[in-house]
Amino acid sequence: MTRIISVISVLALCFTFVGLASAVILFEDDFEDQALGNEPEGWEYDPAAEVNTVGQVAEDPLDPDNKVFTDFGGYSAGNGMQLTDFVAEWDWMFFQDNSSNNSMGFRVVDAGNHYQLSRRGGGVDWKIYMFNGAWNEIATNAFPTEIDTWYRVQLIAKGDLFTVKVKEKDDDTPFADLDPVLEVNDNTYGEGAFQTSYYGPIDNVIIADSEQDILAVEPSVSCIRTWGDIKKELKSGKISP
């Protein structure tokens, strides 16, 4: 009982801290409230996109209790909201086929004008393209990844500087402590949508004004995980009520 009271006290402090934290979160979606087999609400479909596949909410290939967004073409977060400077983070899996390219667009003006972050087929090269009617590779680097593994990706667009960092989803290392996988300056487009390109799956998308805004909401995730761990221990009998 004493142990439970102590843990509950920690949780109370945790949630108090969360209540005090403020963050400018522009968009977030974990797809859990979305219907399986449907296009996700809150995302605007662009039939003119490079790939115009109609996406769907589906079961996580690694966890049937989790929902993800997959098999998509061009869908803009926040129903096409326009972004200038922002930080976007999302979980990204390169599913089954290591020969396929997988891409996300940003500062998407329209189908003929945008930037694209792409993890290339073969599982090694990452690139940023500027598309203005023709593909212009503006950044490239080798960063090997595996299929059927969840990665966490951070994209920062600040002025004409674009920074991309990547880690495995279970890696607790703060992005601030990681070296960029890609970093490049380009001033072709100053504003546009954050958009899926192809093919997924993706999950746990969050877009904010700054990296600090995302960090400000992280304690709530820790609290939820802590309470989940407590319930598991109670069920297993490791903690006596």
What DSSP string describes 69-131?
Answer: EES---EEHHHH--BSSEEEEEEEE--S-TTS-EEEEEEEEETTEEEEEEEPTTS-EEEEEEE
What CATH number labels 25-209? 2.60.120.560
* Residue 1: predicted pLDDT: 52
Structure tokens at 214: 């995302």
Q: What is the pTM of this model?
A: 0.82
* Residue 236: predicted pLDDT: 52
* Residue 240: predicted pLDDT: 46
**Lateral strand order in the sheet of 43-45:** 43-45, 75-76, 193-198, 102-110, 113-119, 125-131, 135-142
Structure tokens at 117: 């972050």
* Residue 96: predicted pLDDT: 83
* Residue 216: predicted pLDDT: 81
* Residue 98: predicted pLDDT: 84
For the chain, which ranges sit under pLDDT 70? Answer: 1-22, 218-241
**Alpha-carbon gap, residue 114 to 37, rounded angstroms:** 29
How far, in whole angstroms, is CA 98 from its chain's centroid? 20
User: To which residue do tokens 């949630």 refer?
Assistant: 15
**Alpha-carbon gap, residue 179 to 111, rounded angstroms:** 31
* Residue 135: predicted pLDDT: 97
CA atoms within 13 Å, Cβ hemisphere of 137: 10
* Residue 237: predicted pLDDT: 55
Using alpha carbons, select from 159, 195, 161, 164 the residue that is nearest to residue 82. 195
18-76 tens-digit pLDDT: 443 457 899 999 999 999 999 999 999 999 999 999 999 999 999 999 999 999 999 99
**Alpha-carbon gap, residue 123 to 99, rounded angstroms:** 8
